[in-house]
Chain A
């Protein structure tokens, strides 16, 4: 370890100017690290504070129950809320079973090499930009069929898949090997062991991953632009047509010169971030419960 600057002890005592310099550097490092952490906290506080300050006064019952206004009159974001809920719900239906199965394959069936390869595939898939995923679904499905909520959900599911699969796989790996062995030794088949023993033991961790990824995709705009963005400002439950969504509404309002629409954007953003924060708190709760369970057993 020649990199370690291990000075001669005599140097420290004799040349105290060197010691003083080193102490100054040490002090500067400490202050810089503290300031960086403070800065990160301050940014979050400023962003959240602005959202509450600019958006809170807009929130009333109308805002949650009326669709976007066509001209002038006071409206709300009910259409976008419903659209987002439907699309995120469908994305979950598509992504969660596939992701959990991928994770089960990686931890219960695949050998270490295939498992490592799949991990890289998932990480690279996770790195594909959301806008590229949007273009992909556009080229695959929207061309020829037109925009629809189902295609938007498919695009979000693609983003969700690697997140849930990776977090589930990591949790399955820490399920104690003794549980598997005990179950298999009793003559229980592999799939019943997985279904009845492993998955219940890991459910807290799986839910943590699911909840965090739902919070992420609920705020994604880029994949929806090409798949479900051109929609009427009306409450609709028809999943075969484009539905308005919260992120796309915020985007178009944020670029509007009209202060009224900007105010709506702030309020809609406040609703979105409240949802995201609640989901993150929920994830922490599930994660804590899982840890207690695994430690308790």
Chain B
């Protein structure tokens, strides 16, 4: 191909070279277009969701966000029931999943022998590969009844003085949904934490160990201090996933249009409520209020994700500075 370069005088070669340059321009053009399309797509999603929700936003105003009602008969709609369900289930999941994920990541990087660490890391990855509809199926038919018969009665007898652990156990409710979400976010958070811990310079932890601290003290004092922003981002990414999950929550939360005082009782979340309406919402107002819920969900998860990204970028910049 390059032989033509040695005969610059030949007009044929000149033509060929121009053709090659055309290929370069075309290829660059196509890839620029693809990159631009991906960026436009993100904006288009945000714009379209708001355009769809706009009639409802005008109808109900901002007070929709803190109105506790969902009554198609009287045409009263509000998002508070579902925001409550989303936030509470995700927060419970976060509180349980964060220490577990960090512990798993520490086990894989600090404790397990190399030959054991690789297969266990694969198993945790596979946990993330379970489709949410399958986890939800297990959640409603196997896990839910177990929670109702064993976990909730036990929680009730130990912590029953707290309102969230009182009341009748049920197989579908806030608690089973939160626990299924926990299973979903553990692999995400622990995989990111594992990467973070691997990248902590060994001379830092070795230094702490050489000064006489125990392994846990080195982890707490050095690794956590070094990786703290990264851990925060990992937790936020897990939280974003929990906020947005619709199907598994839909199957396990019980789909009840009320804010339950007990975590044993059924409720509903933003994603789950939207998912239940797919067969076709009744009145026009009901379907537009569903779109309003979608807009709220999008804002919540976009904010969570953008904050996580900002932390990641800052973290990387700071580390490059070091």
Expressed in whole angstroms, the Cα–Cα distance for A135 and B289 within the complex equals: 13
| B137/A250 in contact, CB under 8 A | yes
| B23/A191 in contact, CB under 8 A | yes
| A221/B131 in contact, CB under 8 A | yes
B127 interface residue, CB < 8 Å from A?
yes
A289 to chain B, nearest CB (A): 17
| B100/A129 in contact, CB under 8 A | no
Query: Across the interface, which residues of A come within 8 angstroms of B88, CB to CB?
Result: none
Among A131, A215, A250: residue with most chain B CB under 10 A: A131
Provide the main secondary structure of the chain B interface.
Answer: helix
Expressed in whole angstroms, the Cα–Cα distance for A136 and B163 within the complex equals: 39
Query: Across the interface, which residues of B come within 8 angstroms of A122, CB to CB?
Result: 38
Query: Across the interface, which residues of B come within 8 angstroms of A118, CB to CB?
Result: 35, 38-39
| B271/A98 in contact, CB under 8 A | no
Bitwise, B120-148 to A at CB < 8 A (1) or not (0) is: 10111111011111111110111000000
| B104/A37 in contact, CB under 8 A | yes
B186 interface residue, CB < 8 Å from A?
yes
How many B residues, CB 8 Å from partner? 104
A61 interface residue, CB < 8 Å from B?
no
19 A-B residue contacts at CB 8 Å?
A6-B211, A7-B213, A29-B215, A37-B104, A101-B33, A102-B31, A105-B35, A108-B31, A118-B35, A127-B237, A127-B240, A128-B301, A128-B302, A132-B45, A139-B52, A194-B27, A254-B141, A265-B137, A276-B130
B residues with CB within 8 A of A: 1-2, 5, 20-21, 23-24, 26-28, 30-35, 37-39, 41-42, 44-45, 48-49, 51-52, 99-100, 103-104, 106-108, 110-112, 120, 122-127, 129-138, 140-142, 183, 186-187, 190, 204, 207-208, 211-222, 225, 237, 240-241, 243-247, 250-251, 271, 274-275, 278-279, 291, 294, 297-298, 301-302, 304-306, 308-309, 313
Query: Across the interface, which residues of B come within 8 angstroms of A284, CB to CB?
Result: 122
| B49/A132 in contact, CB under 8 A | yes
8 Å CB contacts to B: which residues of A204-236? 212, 215-216, 218-222, 225-226, 229-230
Contact for A104 among B31, B110, B127, B216, CB less than 8 A:
B31
Expressed in whole angstroms, the Cα–Cα distance for A109 and B31 within the complex equals: 9
